[in-house]
Amino acid sequence: MDASPGRDDSDDPRPSTQDATGLAPGSLAGIRVIDLTRVISGPFASQMLGDHGAEVIKIETPGEGDVVRRQGNMVNGFSAYFAQFNRNKRSITLNLREPEGRQILNRLLEDADVLVENFRPGVLAKMGLDDDTLRQRFPRLVVGRINGFGSTGPYRDRPAYDFVAQAMSGFMGVNGVEGGEPMRAAPPISDMVASLNLAFGVSAALVRRERTGQGEILETALTNGLVVMLGYLAAEYFATGEVPRRTGNDHPMLYPYGLFEASDGEVAIAPSSETMVRRLLEALGRVDLLEQPRFADNAQRMAHREALREILNEVTRRRSVDDWIEHLNTAGVPCGRVQDLRETFDDPQIIDQRMRLTLDQGEAGQIATTGFPVKMREAPAMIQRPAPQLGEHTDEVLAELGFGADECRALRQRGIV
């Protein structure tokens, strides 16, 4: 049926993390999340909560839904991009421009533990849910939000987008090669980092809520999250006042380090200490280089980097990538293959770690998504349900709120759901 390349973990004899037998429900079981987010940063965050057992109700605009439903490649009419970030959620439609729609949202919040949103600052307030109202009306609710630049400050109302956050945070300025242009990272890392920060912030606030009964309102911004990811470089900037330059694959402070040429490709080699440099040179049969004053310590090697690079490549070119990876790992030197995504998902270690999981998307068939980055022993992340069709669970959730079938039909006719 559909194109699902690469191998799955399905012939792995161990019990799958998707099989709950004998395991506890996820860590966040019993936590109900009302999810107003769309596109990527918010949905990835709420999916992480859902992966770990939270019950997530995604609220979408009737007839439209999350714009991502119409983006990227379609697998039998279902967006693979949407599936990637919306498993483990139910979907209901709700027109929040209508008072009746907002009333239903309020009823949902009464039974909820968490509300997540990634509107521009102020949009939720215009729906009658400003921060003070949220805290008063729902004192046990944890509200988590993602925005571009923060909800205060001169840029609070600017439209946000990952590429802009990468530019403004300083990330692009250090990424790329010397003499080249500032370079974005290929994936939308400011979105993804914001998701991780939100998932952490919401969970930390829930710990406090469990202990004190108090809810919380918290936020994270695309720019702020990326600034913190630059902490290693920021620390050097703060200490020296010198702005870090782009150094491509070379480490700004260590050598040897980087890509080296094998007979059939490149090997990433990263010895992080003097001990490991010695191990590397021993494994290459060139420990004699350390006797030369120009290579005797890291400072000397940095000063004579190009000369040493040439000498080392002469050695590494004699054998294959596979050979070097085997040989250097045995010697205790961190190294690895530079993989494309096919090689990554076919890598036996990545398969062992089940980093590719397949969703059964009903009529759309099977759609593969990435696996779980956090592995728990007793209450592991699981696939409880695939990504939902738009409004697939509207009637079900309305019934849970006490609406009868006739009321649901009437709401639908009036365009409320």
In terms of C-beta density within 10 A (0-12 exposed, 13-18 middle, 19 or more buried), how is residue 352 classed?
A: exposed
Out of 1, 238, 293, 413, the residue judged to bind a copy of itself by CB under 8 A: 238
275: which 2 tokens? 């001990």
CB 62 within 8 A of CB 95: yes
Q: How far is the CB of 405 from a copy of itself (least distance, A)?
A: 35
Instruction: Determine if 334 is a binding residue for a copy of itself (CB under 8 A).
Output: yes
Rounded to 10°, the helix 231-240/222-229 angle is: 70
Could you give the string, one character per residue 24-63, with x where binding to a copy of itself holds by CB under 8 A and - elsewhere?
Answer: x--xxxxx--------x---x---x---x-----------
Distance of alpha carbon 343 from alpha carbon 322, whole angstroms: 13
Residue in the structure block whose two tokens are 């990637």: 84
Instruction: Determine if 321 is a binding residue for a copy of itself (CB under 8 A).
Output: no
Please list every residue from 274 through 293 that binds a copy of itself, using CB under 8 A: 276
Q: How far is the CB of 393 from a copy of itself (least distance, A)?
A: 23
Q: How far is the CB of 303 from a copy of itself (least distance, A)?
A: 18
Order of strands across the sheet that contains 258-262: 258-262, 265-269, 335-337
CB 393 within 8 A of CB 34: no
Q: How far is the CB of 189 from a copy of itself (least distance, A)?
A: 6
Out of 20, 23, 123, 230, the residue judged to bind a copy of itself by CB under 8 A: 230
Instruction: Determine if 22 is a binding residue for a copy of itself (CB under 8 A).
Output: no
Instruction: Determine if 365 is a binding residue for a copy of itself (CB under 8 A).
Output: no
Out of 123, 233, 302, 311, the residue judged to bind a copy of itself by CB under 8 A: 233
**Cross-strand bridge partners of residue 216:** 142
* Three-class secondary structure of residue 242 per DSSP: coil
Residue 361 CB contacts under 8 Å (≥ 6 apart), including other chains: 75, 76, 78, 83, 367, 386, 387
Q: How far is the CB of 290 from a copy of itself (least distance, A)?
A: 20
Size, binding site for a copy of itself by CB under 8 A? 159
Residue 191 annotated in active site: yes
**Ramachandran category for residue 39: left, alpha or beta (phi over 0 → left; psi -120 to 50 → alpha):** left
* Three-class secondary structure of residue 72 per DSSP: coil
Please list every residue from 65 through 84 that binds a copy of itself, using CB under 8 A: 67, 72-75, 80-81, 83-84
From 162, 191, 322, 406, the catalytic residue? 191
Instruction: Determine if 261 is a binding residue for a copy of itself (CB under 8 A).
Output: no
Which segment (246-254, 287-295, 301-309, 390-398) binds a copy of itself by CB under 8 A?
246-254
Q: Which residues are catalytic?
A: 191
